[in-house]
Structure 1
């Protein structure tokens, strides 16, 4: 079976984890601090705060942004459910806006239409690693005095207008889940240029503790910590951070290899009339965290049938990105909500394998199998 995704790890990551374990410091500590510094330097942000995963990063971002009970946050429905869940964790109300069908990111016009006096923030998702139009949404947020938060779970290594994702806004959240471009097993990172946000994020991730373990351990004098507010246990371990440091060293190479595979797909499928592929906007750089293909109305075979045939051929695929408002957990509060563009993009999209290292014979097999299935599935004029 050719998998949909696979993390790229070598003996470097195993050795780093091994060495960290032997130091005796395996929870949040010096390796986490080193990973944060290197990540901030990579993205161009002033600060980076490591957390247990991207969802907890989004939750903390909502808190430091001041989102609370009854506050509305505009976000896409076409995103993983963690995006909107993070809003509900703080008592906020997710307000779902449409997406742009050509890049799967929030539609600016529909987002503005959804703004009300209760709107507190916009949660902008860089879907499957495709950079959203950050500048346009920053202007919109400024116009209405809103806070802009970026869900960059899939976007590490992508760039917007020549600058790495993570450097543009005061709250940008990343994921290191195994399906992402680099992984720490699980884990997340928040980048920010706001020193006050940085300090409060670090406070909240460790039970509201005024002095962290590492500082107490290194101190030559007696220190007692205070717990200044109700916080959470959202820490990254030093074992994860040690792996993350090695992954970060490989990140640019991994992205380049992913782009080579994506460009093979683009070249192979460019003349198939019943599909549309994602592409880079001018000035942007895409990490191809996933390779999504949209099947238009000329396709005489359903998305699910294509997936079944690919599976029968030994190739894993995934459906297009979910629409949260149609999930069971949200249906009761989204009665009557229609987002036809999001629903169409979700229902007609298929994600095919892309990972590093993917052998050329497997790339060719995916291309040939998908092309063969689609060649007999075009509506004749």
Structure 2
């Protein structure tokens, strides 16, 4: 048998890089909500928000229609506007930067640490000017950023920290849950994330002023709160006090989110089990680097990324990627650095300005990682990745 034949058709079905886990309890929760009195804003919204706040140890949680909307809300609550600069990483999904543009602010990118793949606090401080208003650090792949150093920089320059933890619900920094430490923290509930509400996002905070602004922002800037009204014509009266958006989560989605929250620790545990198997299998493959794990944090492992040593492989990343896809291993690449995207290039961001992020992008592949993976799924990924690397190794 040829070497090529030995790695073909190991999988008869396609294995995606991520997938939701929906069980009968989740379905029953959604049906119960559908049979209730509320489909949009109802009791499940408050219950879902309370569950998240309690889990992460924050005083407040405000749900949104998606993670991007939540980040937009956080930028509004932080008072980001025209002329303000906000520093973030280029190695993230576009929403981490777009939220600044929505408010008329300017995105300033700081390069990553090549070992952790997270934003480098040293690079953050280099980019601070008298126009800098906030920092949006991203817990890339689920591994928390170096919060102590970032908070130190933020305190020194009086900056707001909006933590993008779309990848990191369930993660811990020095024994404390992500979500209670920064000024505001965003979680995402897209189906490939740790828990899902279909679409959805949330901001957690310990700041009552931010909380009040977030609540009003997600509902057109409208309030019915008597203490906030300029006038009061009667029980029906409301005021639109600023330009907000319709960014509300539905009660149906919140019901699903509540059910999913009951399984979050189990989901994170299963992700850790898969990662342990990957690490053990790949640590001896010298053509790749497995993810770095800081002893001070506990990643929640949204993504498992391998870095290819292209100087030790006879083909490029594209060939490895396409080979794995042909063998039904649904690999992906996370992410194209934001400053390289056409829209940001039109804004004047330059290729070559973020050397670490740009080099990393050329070398990485995300492997399948989600709780519903079977033992055979994990074995297939390991077998096919190792044999593919071996096939093309120098």
Give the TM-score of the pair, scaled to structure 1: 0.95
Residue 33 (1) aligns with residue 46 (2): yes
**Residue 290 (str. 1) matches residue 303 (str. 2):** yes
**Which of the residues 366, 369, 377 maps onto 1:351?**
366
Shift of residue 185, structure 1, vs aligned partner: 0.5
**For residue 306 of structure 1, what is the aligned residue in structure 2?**
320
Q: Is the 8 A contact 2:339 2:351 kept in 1?
A: no
The 2-side partners of 1:99 and 1:249 are apart by 34
Q: For 1:4 and 1:193, how far apart are their aligned partners in 2?
A: 34
The alpha carbon displacement at 1:349 in A equals 0.3
Cα offset, 1:337, TM superposition: 5.0
Report Cα offsets for 1:84-140 as digits up to 9, x if no partner. Answer: 100100011111110011221111111111111111111100011111011110110
- Which stretch has the larger CA shift, 201-210 or 272-281? 272-281
Gaps of 5+ in 1: 213-220
Aligned positions of 1:32-111 closer than 5 A:
32-111=45-124
Does the aligned pair in 1 maintain the 2:74–2:162 contact within 8 Å? yes
Change (3 A) 1:79 1:203: same
Give the unaligned 5+ runs of structure 2: 1-13, 226-233
Residue 337 of structure 2 is aligned to residue 323 of structure 1: yes
Say how many residue pairs are matched. 371
Structure 1 partner of 2:375: 360
| Cα deviation, residue 315, structure 1 | 1.1
**Counterparts of residues 142-291 of structure 1 (less than 5 Å):** 142-211=155-224, 222-291=235-304
Deviation at 1:207, TM superposition (A): 1.1
Select 2:136's aligned residue among 99, 105, 123. Answer: 123
Q: Distance in 2 between matches of 1:42 and 1:18?
A: 25
**Cα offset for 1:75?**
0.6
How far apart, CA to CA, are the structure 2 residues paired with 1:165 and 1:298? 37
- TM-score, scaled relative to structure 2: 0.92
Aligned residue for 1:8? 21
Alignment RMSD (CA, Å): 1.3
Partners of 2:340 and 2:350 within 8 A in 1:
no
- Look up the match of 2:230: none
Residue 5 of structure 2 aligns with which residue? none
Give the whole-Å Cα distance in 2 for the aligned partners of 1:103 and 1:242. 36
